[in-house]
Amino acid sequence: MRSDTSPTLVGFFYIRRVIMCTAVTYQTNHFYFGRTLDYESSYGEEIVILPRKFPLSFLHRGTVTQHYAIMGIAHVANQYPLFYDAINEKGLCMAGLNFVGNAHYVKSTTEENEVAQYEFIPWILSTCATTAEAKERISSIHITDTPFCEQMPVGQLHWMIADKNQTITVEAVADGIKIYENPVGVLTNNPPFPEQLFRLNDFMHLSPKQPQNHFSSTLSLQPYSRGMGALGLPGDLSSQSRFIRAAFVRANSVSGTSEQESVSQFFHILGSVDQQRGCCEVASDKYEITIYTSCCNASKGIYYYTTYDNHQISAVDMHRTDLDSKTLSCYKPVTEEQIFCQN
């Protein structure tokens, strides 16, 4: 446990307890991974590059001074990046998403096979090159409820981990750590992942094609609008509905294979679960919004993002920095709208 009494950090870890979000994968010529982060305010997150020789400390594993480079969105506290989502230089991706009421972490007994919840993302991404490696490592650990500092409650999260070959969901629950294959490449929040996945059975009739009349052979029924094959697709902002909607959009997504086309399509996929100010009230005059949307080209090590007030896509390339450095590189998100005037 570390000592820090910053009120900003208290707010930051509160956000990690209540945020809503959606994560997806996408494959064209390259592999892409990203997420939305939905909340009513920002807590100073930055795009952070953690180079190979940055001294990365773990409570029960000491300090590691040589590891894979990592890049992602994080809040940096006492020079320690608390990652929301990130990729490493090998193309492994990971995101933590809200899982309140179901996440369960064990009490620390100071054993070597323990990883504190806040260490989980940097531990996996600093040591694993593939999802298969991550899956093997996770099977032998315990995730503890040790907070980063006394002022920060432990975030209740579950995680999506992916590379170009395999995607898994990891949930630490009351009866242990569960690792699930994730065939849809989507994760939101509650309920637990097997229940989210099962609910797709209720929507197997949805299609991007126009519907046929199966109602009655004696009635002349015709579609009267485009898009009627997806009638019944949930449109609300709840986590289960966002899971179904994102899974449908991703599964039926069609794009070109260039970088521009792939990135553009990825943002359109996550745009299907975008939260607009005023639609999700969390308190009087407070509304949950999509703080940022990310899209990582895991093959090239590029972190693309937009923010609520800036729809222009910005990017940070990890390979344009010294990945053998010992210090973090931090970039504040561009949050003001960029408008291109044509005349």
Active site residues: 21
Rounded Cα gap, residues 249 and 137, in angstroms: 32
Task: Tell me the DSSP string of 178-245.
Answer: EEEE-TT-EE-SSS-HHHHHHGGGGGTT--SSPPP--S-TTS-----STTGGGTT---S-SHHHHHHH
Element (H, E) at 268: helix 259-271
Task: Tell me the DSSP string of 38-102.
Answer: EESS----EEEEE-TTS-EEETTTEEE-S---EEEEEEEETTEEEEEEEEETTS-EEEEEE-TTT
Answer for the pair 86, 93: CB distance below 8 angstroms, yes or no.
yes
Answer for the pair 302, 274: CB distance below 8 angstroms, yes or no.
no
Buried b / exposed e along 11-28 (16+ C-beta atoms within 10 A): bbbebbeebbbbbbbbeb
Rounded Cα gap, residues 118 and 322, in angstroms: 26
Answer for the pair 50, 122: CB distance below 8 angstroms, yes or no.
yes
Rounded Cα gap, residues 221 and 230, in angstroms: 17
CA distances 83 to 94, 96, 288, 343, Å, are 9, 8, 21, 41
